[in-house]
Each structure stands twice: as C-alpha cells, then as structure tokens.
Chains A and B, each alone.
Chain A
Amino acid sequence: MINKFLGTFLQTLGKPLVAFVMNFGFFSQFVAKSVCNCFIPPFYFKLLFKQVINIGFYSVPVVGLTTLFAGMVIALQTYSGISKYGAESAVAMVVLISVTRELAPVLSALMVAGRIGAAMAAEIGTMRVTEQIDALVTLSANPFRYLIAPRIWAAIIVMPLLVIFGDIIGIFGGYVVGIYKLDFNPANYINNTMNNLQTLDVMTGVVKACVFGFIISVMGCYHGYRSKGGAQGVGEATTNAVVSSSILILIFNYLITEMFFSR
C-alpha cells in the first residue's frame, strides 16, 4: 500500500520534473544554436531588412502611444504626490528618469513582445506544422540562419531605436501635461529636463532594449520552432511566446537595473 502510494507520488512529482529538465535542455540547445548561427554566413540581408521594417517601423505607433500616455500619467501622478511638499520642479526630472530608465524600455518591450513575439511564433509555428521548415532543410538551407538569425539581429538592432523614440515621446507626454495641464513654464520645464539628462539613464534603457529584443525574438522563434499539432499547437506557441517573453523581460529588467544602479 505504502509502496504503491510512494510510486504514484514519485511518478506525479517526477513526470513534470523530467519534462522541465528536457525542455530546459531543448531551450538551451536552441539558444546556443541560434546565437552561433547569428555569426555564421551566409547572412540574409534582405530578410534582415524585412524584419527590421516589420519589427521597427510597424511598431512605431504602438510604442509611441504607449510611452506618450505613460509620460503623461507619470507627470500627473508625480505632481499630485509631491506638490504638497512644494517640489513641483521635480516633475520634469521624475518624468525623465522614469521614462528613460524604466517606462520606455519595459513598456516598449512588452508591446513589441505582444505584437512581434506572437507574430514570430505564429509564422514559424505555421511553417513547422506545414513542413515548410523541413522543406528548407531539404533545400540545403539552414533554418537557424535563414529564419532565426535575421529575426534576432533585427530585434537587437531595432529595439534600442524604438526605446530612444519612446524616451522622446514619453518625455514629450510629460511636457504636454506639465505645460497645458499643470501650468508649468515651458522654458523651466525644458531646462529641468535637460539639466537632469544623464547619459547613464539613456544607456541603461538602450542596454535593456538590446536584451529585451534578444528575449522577444528568441522566445518567439523557440516556441514557433517547437510547435506541433496544427492550429491548436500554433495557438499555444503564440501564447507561450508572449507570456514567457513578458516574464523574462520583467526579470531581466530587475537584473539589469540592479547591475547599473545598485550601490
């Protein structure tokens, strides 16, 4: 009786553990192969350019809107919080630091993960279940070089540009609220912003953007590449790509912040 119970218990515990270890192994192997193939020719520049447009250009509206409203909200919230201490002049600085260090990189990455990570998983997943990836192999093309490397490079190149764009729009959002809602002096607001602008703050955002771009592209490609079954499998891959990349973005956001700003 006890043996049977123990057997069932260990089986219940062991199955997910074995599955986890196997998946971790597959994932590690996938990441290693992807990274290696990013540096091995042939390089598909036309595909890279296509991905840059897809990830970068078409994400501009969503990143712009997100960071604009984030900057506006931060300006309002900061003002309502600190005006009772007579520190209204700090609003520009708080907007600047919040947007450049955190809001622009994290919100942009989460938006791109939702838009591009899902699209990558769906596209590669569909290619997997319709045997297009097998067809690539039979045509002597390496799927890692043809499909995955251009997406990783494009995400790493484009994400910092999107984040810098998000920085500008977010700060502009804070400026709009500061001037038209809170009646700050425009020249003072701009002066406060420029005086507090630190290279480190912007660079932190850029470094985060590169890491987030890598995470989004790798998770999107991984879940798509490993999808199976059919429409349901592709759907699961898409969901998993967005969820896993969003969680990793938040974890790595903390780790990078800790690396740059911990005393």
Chain B
Amino acid sequence: MAEENKIEIRNLYKAFGKKKVLDGVDLDVRKGESLVVIGGSGTGKSVLIKCIQGLLMPDSGSIKIDGVETVGANVDIHKKMGMLFQGAALFDSLSVWENVAFTLIENDKMKRADAKLEAIRVLRQVGLAPDVADLEPAELSGGMQKRVGLARAIINKPEIIFFDEPTTGLDPIMADVINDLIIESARGLGASTLTITHDMASARKIADRIAMLYQGKIIWSGTVKEMEKSDNPYLQQFISGSSHGPIQVEV
C-alpha cells in the first residue's frame, strides 16, 4: 500500500561519469519501519542515502517522502529528517551542546539557555553526562562523537532517521551500545529509519527488514529470518563474508 510508505523510491538512476552507481533502484521504507540496506563498499549505499536527502541530484527516477515527490521539487524535506553521519560530522567550531542544539537555535529560534537544557537532556538520553556538553568535538572519543551525532539527529524528533555506517570504526561493545541507542531512539520517536551498513551484526540487531544493494540494484529484500534462510548466492556470500562466490571484488 503506497500510503503506508514513508519513503518510496522508483527507478532511481545516478552515474558519475561513465560509472553507473544507482541503476534503477526501487525501494520502500514503511512507516515506523527500520530498513537496513547492506552491500559492499562502493555499491552506492551512501549515494542512495544522499539522493534521498537531496544532497545529490539523481539523474532520473522518483523519490517520494510521505507521498510527495522530492526529486526536482523545491520542498524542505529536512525538517522531518535526522541523520547520523559515518564520521559523526560534528561542527568543529561549535561545542558539543551547540552541535546538538543547532537546529533548535537556528531553525526553531529557541533561546540559547533553553536550547542548552534540551541538548543536555538529549545527551543524557544517549548516555552522555552533562559535563560533556561544554567540550569541543575534538575532545571526544569516536564512540562519544557517534552518540553526540545521534543526539543531534534526534533532537528535533524527526519522522525519518538515516544512519550512515553507524558502527564503523567502533569496537564491538561500543558498536552494540550504538545499536541499542538507535533502536531505543527510533522506537521512542516512532520514526522510520534507513540504515546503510556492511556490519552484519548491526544489521541483524536493528533491522525490521533488510535490502541488499549490488551493482546499483536492490537484488534482495526481506526480514532477518528470511535472510538467514535465503538461498540467494549473492546474499549468502555477503553475509558469510566469503571471498568465493558470485560477487567478484576488484583488487
């Protein structure tokens, strides 16, 4: 049912020069669903998420958010979205709380004192102590930066949250902590989430549904249980992490 879809992508194409990155992607993210897109490095996962966010203009195709076409349209889609970037992408020139409260101060015109209190509340929610608020992003560890990035992504209570490789570069325990926070945050807000990752442990934990992107196309999608039972050779090779199989890695 189209009206149940928060994001609806049809026939999405994007190429950089002669390299076709997205080659007719069809994908839906349902309301309140956690969809994880898996795929190897360079298969276009980040390009997909950037096209949805309007950071890249697709060559052709359709992206609808809440049924509204966004490709080529002058609509502000970002107010209902939040994003956790791979490297957190915190602003170096701002303190931690200013990063978290950025949208409250700049878009909602909230007073700085109130915005700081709200930022500290959300920082607590992601497991960070209030004294972190006045630190600079450079003073934080990788895991703490991800938490701050998560706090920034959820502070304006978005309806859709994107996670770009949320556990990359973290140790397994911290990765699991971030996974738990993602689940808690998304469920708490009732948000739809789209995560791109090649960390299968993370995908298994946070996904309601998994889709695999290969050579610019979604070649498989289903639940985690269906994934484990699938006989799709591409999917099986990817989740088993084997170098032998139909997916040929260019060395």
| Bound together | yes
Point out the residues of chain B lying under 8 angstroms from A131, CB to CB: 85-87, 89
**Once the chains bind, are A126 and B92 in contact (CB under 8 Å)?**
yes
The one of B79, B86, B89 in contact with A140, judged by C-beta atoms closer than 8 angstroms, is B79
B115 to chain A, nearest CB (A): 13
Instruction: Tell me if B53 counts as interface (CB < 8 A to partner A).
Output: yes
**Once the chains bind, are A135 and B53 in contact (CB under 8 Å)?**
no
Interface residues of B, CB < 8 Å — how many?
22
**Once the chains bind, are A137 and B78 in contact (CB under 8 Å)?**
yes
Q: How far is the CA of A146 from the CA of B86 in the complex (A)?
A: 23
B146 to chain A, nearest CB (A): 13
**Once the chains bind, are A132 and B55 in contact (CB under 8 Å)?**
no
**Once the chains bind, are A135 and B85 in contact (CB under 8 Å)?**
yes
**Once the chains bind, are B87 and A141 in contact (CB under 8 Å)?**
no
**Once the chains bind, are B87 and A130 in contact (CB under 8 Å)?**
yes
Point out the residues of chain A lying under 8 angstroms from B86, CB to CB: 131
Point out the residues of chain B lying under 8 angstroms from A130, CB to CB: 87, 89
Q: What does DSSP make chain A's interface, helix, strand, loop or mixed?
A: helix
**Once the chains bind, are A139 and B89 in contact (CB under 8 Å)?**
no
Point out the residues of chain B lying under 8 angstroms from A140, CB to CB: 76, 78-79, 103, 106-107
Nearest-CB residue, chain A, relative to B81: A138
**Once the chains bind, are A134 and B106 in contact (CB under 8 Å)?**
no
Nearest-CB residue, chain A, relative to B53: A138
**Once the chains bind, are B103 and A134 in contact (CB under 8 Å)?**
no
Point out the residues of chain A lying under 8 angstroms from B81, CB to CB: 138
- Per-residue CB proximity of A121-138 to B under 8 Å, as 1/0? 000001100111011111
Point out the residues of chain A lying under 8 angstroms from B97, CB to CB: none
**Once the chains bind, are B92 and A135 in contact (CB under 8 Å)?**
no
Nearest-CB residue, chain B, relative to A42: B106
The one of A42, A135, A141, A146 in contact with B89, judged by C-beta atoms closer than 8 angstroms, is A135
Q: Which residues of B contact A (CB under 8 A)?
A: 50, 53-55, 76, 78-79, 81-83, 85-87, 89-92, 102-103, 106-107, 152
Q: Which residues of A contact B (CB under 8 A)?
A: 42, 126-127, 130-132, 134-141, 146
